[in-house]
Amino acid sequence: MSLEQRVERLERENRRLKLAGGAVVAVLLIVALVGAVMPQGIPEVIDARMFRVVDESGTVRATLGASAIRYFDENSHQHVRMSDEGITYFDEDHNMRATLGRTEIVTPSTGATTTYPAAVVLYDAEGNVIWQAPR
């Protein structure tokens, strides 16, 4: 390679480096200007009726509303609900399987409904009570 070809190649590389450097400086300047225009700090109050957590495929996985917090599986089936009534767990077939908190239990032999202010109740797949505390 002749000296003239080497100089031409160096000049081309120098021009490319100058263009790349200028582009980098321009991008950094734009980022700095955008950052200066954006509002800073944490808002004092956020008002909303509901917050939703959505996974990468767009499926709602959890909600936080005025009356309850709910957790959903990948098929949008509710598994857990937390409300002022307590915490309720549902199985994959949508059956209520456990509750913690205020619970109403119907006694099959009498048909009477008893409300417990604080109870733990486990249910079978048909909704029958299999264990409870207090009894």
pLDDT in tens, 26-40: 887 788 777 777 676
Instruction: Report the length, in residues, of the chain.
Output: 135
Q: Which of 74, 104, 105 lies closest to 92, judged by CA?
A: 74
Q: What confidence tier does 135 reach under pLDDT thresholds 50, 70, 90?
A: low
Give residue 80's pLDDT. 93
Q: Which whole number is the average pLDDT over 73-84? A: 88
Kindly report whether the global pTM for this prediction surpasses the value 0.85. no
Give residue 86's pLDDT. 86
DSSP state at residue 43? -
**Terminus-to-terminus CA distance in the chain, angstroms?**
96
The answer on pLDDT for 117 being more than 80 is no
Q: Which whole number is the average pLDDT over 96-108? A: 82
Q: Which of 72, 78, 44, 41 lies closest to 58, judged by CA?
A: 72
Give residue 63's pLDDT. 92
The answer on pLDDT for 120 being more than 80 is yes
Backbone angles phi, psi at 45, to 5 degrees: -140, 140
pLDDT in tens, 56-72: 888 999 999 888 999 99
